[in-house]
Amino acid sequence: MSWVLLISLAMVTFFNRYLFLEPKTGVVVPKFMMCMLKYAAPCLMISIATPIVFFDHATWKGMGHNEYIYGAIFCILITAITQKMLLSIVASLLFFYGLLYLF
């Protein structure tokens, strides 16, 4: 994926969430739509991260020496245990880059 595509997706996601979820904008949406908007960012992140974790230029990476899958599993576990965003991000990045240098 190119950086332009990633930044564009991030801007679209931020704009949609800000417009509908920020109380100061004055846009009122139904309750069911508010529930759907709360799941938009995680769904978008999963759709971006899945090809990066499992594929390398349209070929399956496998599970044996795939630093990305181990980094993703560690990120999920540390986030579930700590439930602190900044700590999870820093710990996951340190773990991932540690794996990159070890493999």
Domain ranges in the chain are: 1-58, 62-103
Q: Which helix (H) or strand (E) holds 103?
A: none
Least confident range from 29-33, 88-92, 94-98: namely 29-33
CA angle 71, 87, 93 (to 5 degrees): 30
33-52 residue pLDDT tens: 777 777 766 776 777 778 87
What is the identity of the amino acid at 49?
A: A
Please, which pLDDT band fits residue 1 given cuts at 50, 70 and 90?
A: low
What distance in Å separates the CA atoms of residue 67 and residue 3, rounded to the nearest whole number? Answer: 21
Instruction: Give residue 6's pLDDT.
Output: 75
pLDDT tens figures, 44-86: 677 777 887 888 877 887 777 788 888 888 988 998 999 888 8
Q: Is 77 exposed, middle or buried (0-12, 13-18, 19+ CB in 10 A)?
A: middle
